[in-house]
Structure 1
């Protein structure tokens, strides 16, 4: 049986890290394609933004359910095998989108897609922090984030090629994810570490012990899903082409992927909470600026800044998680992150879509920016309160 290397400093488990990054990249490609593609397909079928948000909320519900199932599943099945099972489940769910056209079938498939990617999400995070020493944690988290964002960027590029009316994009993605599952099986055989099992009841204990980290992940999820789910609809309603709406998601993710290694270096060399606060502030202001920009180039530049800043919140949270926790508490923390992501993403897709329905398309990004700034203010207050408590 594989063993975990202990100690403050050790050689990173490169096979495990490669498996984790490949797996999360596949998850990101799936999410990066399905969020804008499903939104655009349903918009083309004259489905209201509220129902589009509901469909996206099914994905978030799957994320949430998986967080409560991971404790039982990790005791029955080894963590690396659960990651492979999650990839296979994603491939099957994506095949469903390519086969059926019924809205409610898509809701069910979206739920199971969320469930399986949540397993990948939670176990990959825990394994990542187990497989690398703290001296490299920020940079490894940055590479992990770069892989995820690269996947987000690559996914929407399929839309201009295959369009939104056929199921080819979903079918192609299902094949790709299945191939990643096979590669992951090969890499896990060379790994020296394994994801830890989740302890019973540890999820809620972690939520109570780390509210700042939960706040950061909720803010990231809200901004991320608001951007990739509702903003394509925002652009189409303002008269932009579907190709521009899809490319905007790629532009959102590509600079984010390039920025994460730099963010990781900053996390290893400066204040980790300071980086998080600056990221939240920049993400919120970027959302608010979007409706006031007329040039397509300026909008895309602002989208890139928004993506890099909002995703940096997650990179910060993941790095601090590995710094402060170990063993089964890493799995509990990863599960809490997945639950926080589910809450934030459900709120981001449904509330911003509802605001666009009730008021105007431009109200959507402004509302999203205000919410992210409110989360950032709460994070600042929490950090200041923690410092005052330490001084007293």
Structure 2
């Protein structure tokens, strides 16, 4: 087990979470201050999802030519440049283009980084090591809104902080080894439908968590503002959701190494369904604080367990290809979630965000209880 490499790759991916945690709410709040409506903000939030879909198509070919480590470093530096340009070019159409570029570059880092982490993890520790990565990523997103609250949304300090974080993420990868072996056809995105048919609950969980994450960092601050909370309190409430995401990932990962993982998968789906339905009812009560913790923990548990279940089945090219499908599903979730929620918030209900999450959780619960493919022997 290459512990130094494991923590370096985790740090590189976590730098993305912190940078996004600062810049995504800042973009939404800036657009809100410019007078854009919920649908326009939702379109901006969904734009990186198109980049995710493109990144999943090219990651394997680029990695085969440049090498996993050098490609991850290049994408982090290119993302840093794009975030800097958000500060220098305050224009809605230009921001759409920059967010698309950021989506492509960071998707490549996610595909290769998560494959690298799963490849390094021994089976007996897989649950805990993947959960530790998930906890670190969630904590980075938690720190993002808190850092933005300290810096304020009136200046461009948040954009410059994100730029520095991405540059730092590139630097920690120098000299690291043990990356998955990748050929030009890996992570090409082919076979997504077959992957979804074979593991429909895992596929749904990934798309659902992607929609959750995109909406929490972009539309939830706006949702809280329109429900009467001040900006500082709204960002704090968003951070509480991410605290919940981070707080229980290590316990979930530990349990995943000692008990049936499908049972944990089902429990997280049920908790997400119940907490989503309860949020509109308890939003203006003291119970909203523990409820938001549960909301974040159950959603984060779905994604952590999905990665664990994928990691126990695949290695090398197959693992990278599976993570490319994860990124495609992530892009679909990030695209559909903000678009539907932004439109529904404007034209149907102010509580569209939690209600649509409840609908998605109900779909997952139905899928995970009707299939038994988790009992199949892992290909590895």
Query: TM-score normalised by the shorter chain: which range applies?
Result: over 0.9
Query: How far does the alpha carbon of each residue in 1:302-325 deviate from its partner, in whole angstroms, 9 at most, with x for none?
Result: 222111110111111111111011
- Conservation of the 8 A alpha-carbon contact between 1:13 and 1:132: no
Measure, in 1, the Cα distance between the counterparts of 2:66 and 2:183.
12
**Structure 1: which 5+ residue stretches go unaligned?**
1-11
Aligned to 1:7: none
Change (3 A) 1:102 1:374: same
Give RMSD over aligned pairs.
1.8
Shift of 1:124: 0.7
Aligned to 1:315: 304
2:59 is aligned, of 54, 70, 84, to 70
Alignment TM-score, normalising by the size of structure 2: 0.93
Change (3 A) 1:255 1:136: same
- Conservation of the 8 A alpha-carbon contact between 2:221 and 2:235: yes
Alignment of 1:147-158 (within 5 A): 147-158=136-147
Measure, in 2, the Cα distance between the counterparts of 1:344 and 1:49.
18
Change (3 A) 1:206 1:267: farther
Shift of 1:296: 5.5
Matched, 1:135 2:124: yes
Alignment of 1:360-375 (within 5 A): 360-375=349-364
Measure, in 2, the Cα distance between the counterparts of 1:44 and 1:376.
38
Out of 22-31 and 293-302, give the one that drifted further.
293-302
Measure, in 1, the Cα distance between the counterparts of 2:122 and 2:96.
40
Shift of 1:99: 1.1
Change (3 A) 1:373 1:228: farther
Measure, in 2, the Cα distance between the counterparts of 1:267 and 1:198.
31
Shift of 1:207: 4.6
Shift of 1:204: 2.8
Shift of 1:57: 1.3
- Conservation of the 8 A alpha-carbon contact between 1:80 and 1:195: no
1:204 is aligned, of 178, 187, 190, to 190
1:376 is aligned, of 351, 365, 374, to 365
- Conservation of the 8 A alpha-carbon contact between 2:262 and 2:374: no
Q: Secondary structure at the match of 1:269?
A: coil
- Conservation of the 8 A alpha-carbon contact between 2:69 and 2:176: no
Aligned to 1:265: 254
Alignment of 1:60-209 (within 5 A): 60-185=49-174, 189-191=175-177, 193-198=178-183, 200=185, 203-205=189-191, 207-209=193-195
Matched, 1:348 2:333: no
Query: How far does the alpha carbon of each residue in 1:138-185 deviate from its partner, in whole angstroms, 9 at most, with x for none?
Result: 000011101110111011112222221211111122112212211222
- Conservation of the 8 A alpha-carbon contact between 2:77 and 2:167: yes
Aligned to 2:45: 56
Aligned to 1:225: 214
Change (3 A) 1:151 1:91: same
- Conservation of the 8 A alpha-carbon contact between 1:224 and 1:311: no
Alignment TM-score, normalising by the size of structure 1: 0.90
Measure, in 1, the Cα distance between the counterparts of 2:189 and 2:2.
26
**Structure 2: which 5+ residue stretches go unaligned?**
none
Measure, in 2, the Cα distance between the counterparts of 1:172 and 1:372.
34
- Conservation of the 8 A alpha-carbon contact between 1:224 and 1:307: no
Matched, 1:24 2:10: no
Shift of 1:300: 2.9
Shift of 1:363: 3.2
- Conservation of the 8 A alpha-carbon contact between 2:25 and 2:145: yes
Measure, in 2, the Cα distance between the counterparts of 1:262 and 1:211.
24
Shift of 1:89: 1.6
Query: How far does the alpha carbon of each residue in 1:33-66 deviate from its partner, in whole angstroms, 9 at most, with x for none?
Result: 2222211111121111111111111111111100
Matched, 1:47 2:39: no
Shift of 1:339: 0.6
Shift of 1:198: 4.7
Out of 136-145 and 278-287, give the one that drifted further.
278-287
